[in-house]
A and B are shown apart, each in its own frame.
Chain A
Amino acid sequence: MSEEMKPDLTHGEPAATRATTPMWLFVLLLALLFLGGVYFDHHSGWFSAKVYAPYTSAEEVEQYQPRSGAAAMRAHGKQVYEMVCGVCHGNDGLGKPGQAPPLAGSEWVNTKGDNRLIHIPLEGLSGPITVKGQEMSFPSPMAAMGAALSDADLAAVLSYIRSAWGNQAGAVTPEEVKAVRAAIGAHPQPLTAEQLQTMPE
């Protein structure tokens, strides 16, 4: 190593001296802290794992939950359908060979009125039936599956099958179910397709 490359140690190691911090630095830092606080308030969602943009708090997420009556009724109808009806008619509404006819696109479901349709789950159905131009018969009749359901549940499930899988018929109200149930009275026998056809739609 040459002589010139040696560090000059005559003045010792450089050291920092003390001086007063300028006021503007404090102002700048406080301003940045304030801006950070505003940003935090707007975007942090208070670090909740369930708050995503565009929401800013759990309360705001809560405010935007869907509460519409019809959507809730349809969801309830789907739940009842899959528990009670889907076992035989299929969760896709296509029916099951040897068990039950399809409901999707069925003319027995997409009726103008809902009187006939309400009778089916309340009284049951037996014998051959023609659905979508195809004559079908099943080894065992449909029991009165809907007799044990409440008016609201039955209305929800019938509204569901009339609006699901491309069906586009009107909703069924609990009042209509109640009226039909009262008209049937006690101990109904399973209906046949011919009997159903004599009833008003």
Chain B
Amino acid sequence: MKTGFRVFLAVILTLGLSWLTFVVAPAVQLGRAKLEPVLNSSDTWPIQPSGDAALGLQVYRANGCAACHTTQVRQEGVACEVVLTDAGNNPAAVSNLLSTLKLSGLTKEQADAVAARIAAAGGKTETHIVPTGADIARGWGVRGSVAADYLYDAPVPLGNLRAGPDLANVGLREPDLNWQLLHLYAPQAVVSNSAMPPFRYLFRVQKINGTTSPDALRLPKNFAPPAGYEVVPTPAARELAAYLLSLKADAPLYEAPFTPAIAKP
């Protein structure tokens, strides 16, 4: 084969170029990623997880949670929404104008045009940024996931199969520690049609010695242990639950902007 060396060179060049652009370049770019400033705030993102939550990531990994759950919210686009804040001196004219205008699902330019028309009628408005997409419509997050969300995770448990719901914001959806523990011990006790297998080996069934332990699970009747026994979480279960509670990507960032709703109680 006279062309052997040329073929070898071509293969090295092709593989080398893709290695440089798909492995080295992103590692250089994101390998030095630092905390991101949160929009309109002095806070930084992400929040450092507690020690329990950091250990919980390893429990998450060891139990193969990422095989059925993703932790990434996809975003398809952004829409602008114009919200009236002050009707001004001529509320009748402004409300007449509002009834003729489309106020949500706008592009930036359309929103600016609508805001200018309302301002001309004397009303004051603000423009809200609303991320859109199927994941967001399902209630799995307020915005798409970005690299900064995973700064403290090693490894990053992105997952690629959604046999169960996405968990990127499970700490926001179910902020109750007892719910999380109950769900790990008996998923069907809290979500009746859940396909998740129970992780009972993360818990201990023990004889009640005098009084019930303060951290014993309060299980519904058909999942409860026999009388005189109680179910208590092991450290691994607590760590996993702490990790799940720490999953909340709800800060507006430069690369993932949105207008947060007014702080809830």
Instruction: Point out residues on A near B: beta carbons under 8 Å.
Output: 13, 15-16, 47, 49-55, 61, 63-72, 74-76, 78-79, 104-105, 163-166
With the chains together, A50 CA to B41 CA distance in Å? Answer: 18
State the Cβ distance, B108 to closest chain A Cβ, in Å: 6
Instruction: Point out residues on B near A: beta carbons under 8 Å.
Output: 1-3, 25, 29-30, 33, 39-42, 75-78, 80, 83, 85, 108, 124, 126-129, 144, 146-147, 252, 254-260, 262-265
Residues from chain A with a CB closer than 8 A to the CB of B263 are 78, 163-165
Chain B residue at minimum C-beta to C-beta distance from A94: B265
Residues from chain B with a CB closer than 8 A to the CB of A61 are 254-255, 257
Query: What are the 10 A-B residue pairs with the smallest beta carbon separation, nearest first?
Result: A68-B126, A166-B265, A75-B40, A50-B255, A54-B77, A165-B265, A66-B259, A49-B29, A164-B263, A65-B257
Please classify the interface of chain A as helix (H, G, I), strand (E, B), loop, or mixed, using the class held by over half of its residues.
loop
- Contact yes or no, A65 B77, CB < 8 A: no
Residues from chain B with a CB closer than 8 A to the CB of A76 are 40
With the chains together, A76 CA to B75 CA distance in Å? Answer: 28
With the chains together, A50 CA to B265 CA distance in Å? Answer: 32
Tell me whether A52 and B256 are in contact in the complex, defined as CB-CB below 8 angstroms, given that A164-B262, A165-B263 are known contacts: yes
Tell me whether A64 and B108 are in contact in the complex, defined as CB-CB below 8 angstroms, given that A71-B40, A71-B126 are known contacts: yes
State the Cβ distance, B237 to closest chain A Cβ, in Å: 28
Residue among B1, B33, B42, B252 making CB contact with A66, cutoff 8 Å: B252
With the chains together, A76 CA to B129 CA distance in Å? Answer: 19
Residues from chain B with a CB closer than 8 A to the CB of A13 are 1-2
Chain A residue at minimum C-beta to C-beta distance from B41: A75
